Structure 1
Amino acid sequence: MENTDKSIFIATDHAGFNLKEEIKNKLKELGYLLEDLTPNQPEPADDYPLVAQKLVSEILKNNGRGILLCGSGNGICMAANKIKGIRAALGYNTQAAKWARTDEDANVLCLAGAVLSPEYATTITKFFLDTPFSNEERYKRRIEELTKLDK
């Protein structure tokens, strides 16, 4: 399935590099168009806040969505959520990824590079990319309330 409605960006620190490569290659095989913002080699001295900042700036500039990875998924998710306009969600399973889209209209999926298998991480990512926002009033209201918390 080709998903071209929005730009999709992917980036990782060193701890998620191998999983990022697996996800990226599988999604490209399935017809997704991705832009990888990560160097071609893992950089052991990199810092996930800077990786997150690079990806979210592209998302905001292009009205896109993103996939971020670090070892646990937590640190990079925290970093992404510091940026106004970003709603990053930790994708620990398919249901969490689906709800992140239907209920919160999340624009960034964060994954644990040290924990998830390539197959399951790809499945979680597909749920995230293929699930639209529900547009239900209660969720739109909650997102508006969440947006008011942006500083």
Structure 2
Amino acid sequence: MIYLGADHRGYDLKEKVKRWLRNKGWEYTDLGNEKLDAEDDYPDFAVKVAKKIKKGDFGILFCGSGVGMDVTANRFKNVRCGLGFTPQQIRIAKRDDNINCLSLPTDYTTEEEARPMIEMMLETNFSETEKYVRRLAKIDKIK
């Protein structure tokens, strides 16, 4: 399952991505915001998405800089959220760091730029190389 969350600055891109995901046949759940609300707060939606992510699930977060959502999501155990800038960067983030959540900086990302980053996260496999497994295990031990 792909879980989506956006604040007011990410709302428009989230709505466009939903249509694209539907056309691609990818199953998703929209956790808000359900309407454009200039007074909403990004942590509310990052928390909703992060709480849903289990093994095999993905999250996609949308906010102006992407940073607030990224920071919030990474507070949760078993969430490895990456801030997306390019498809190549996201491919490596998935391959080496096994990200399961993507935070898109909507002030700097168009729908056409978002699509290949999302595809990279969803379609790239974690390498399971020993050094990356070891590094992720070290992160998991941080309290």
TM-score range, shorter chain: over 0.9
* Among candidates 21, 27, 33, match of residue 33 of structure 1: 27
* Cα shift at 1:146: 1.0
Q: AA paired with 2:16?
A: E
Moved more, 106-115 or 36-45: 36-45
State the TM-score, normalized to the length of structure 2: 0.95
Aligned residues: 143
Instruction: Determine the C-alpha separation between the residues in 1 that align with 2:44 and 2:35.
Output: 16
* Cα shift at 1:40: 2.6
Q: AA paired with 2:21?
A: L
Q: AA paired with 1:89?
A: G
* Cα shift at 1:39: 3.3
User: Among the aligned pairs, what percent are the same residue?
Assistant: 36
Q: SS of the counterpart of 1:46?
A: coil
Residue matched to 2:70: 77
Q: SS of the counterpart of 2:5?
A: strand
Instruction: Determine the C-alpha separation between the residues in 1 that align with 2:102 and 2:23.
Output: 20
Instruction: Determine the C-alpha separation between the residues in 2 that align with 1:50 and 1:131.
Output: 28
1:10 equivalenced with 2:34 (yes/no): no
- The 5 Å alignment of 1:2-151 reads 7-60=1-54, 63-149=56-142, 151=143
Instruction: Determine the C-alpha separation between the residues in 1 that align with 2:129 and 2:75.
Output: 26
State the TM-score, normalized to the length of structure 1: 0.90
* Cα shift at 1:79: 0.7
Instruction: Determine the C-alpha separation between the residues in 2 that align with 1:51 and 1:40.
Output: 11
Unaligned runs of 5+ in 2: none
Q: AA paired with 2:98?
A: D
* Cα shift at 1:63: 4.7
Q: SS of the counterpart of 1:14?
A: coil
Could you give the per-residue CA deviations for residues 34-91 of structure 1, whole angstroms, max 9, x where no partner exists?
111113311211111111111111113x751100111011111001111122111001
Unaligned runs of 5+ in 1: 1-6
How big is the alpha-carbon RMSD for the aligned residues of Structure 1 and Structure 2?
Answer: 1.2
Q: AA paired with 2:77?
A: K
Structure 1 runs, 4 residues or longer, greater than 2 Å off: none
Instruction: Determine the C-alpha separation between the residues in 2 that align with 1:132 and 1:69.
Output: 23
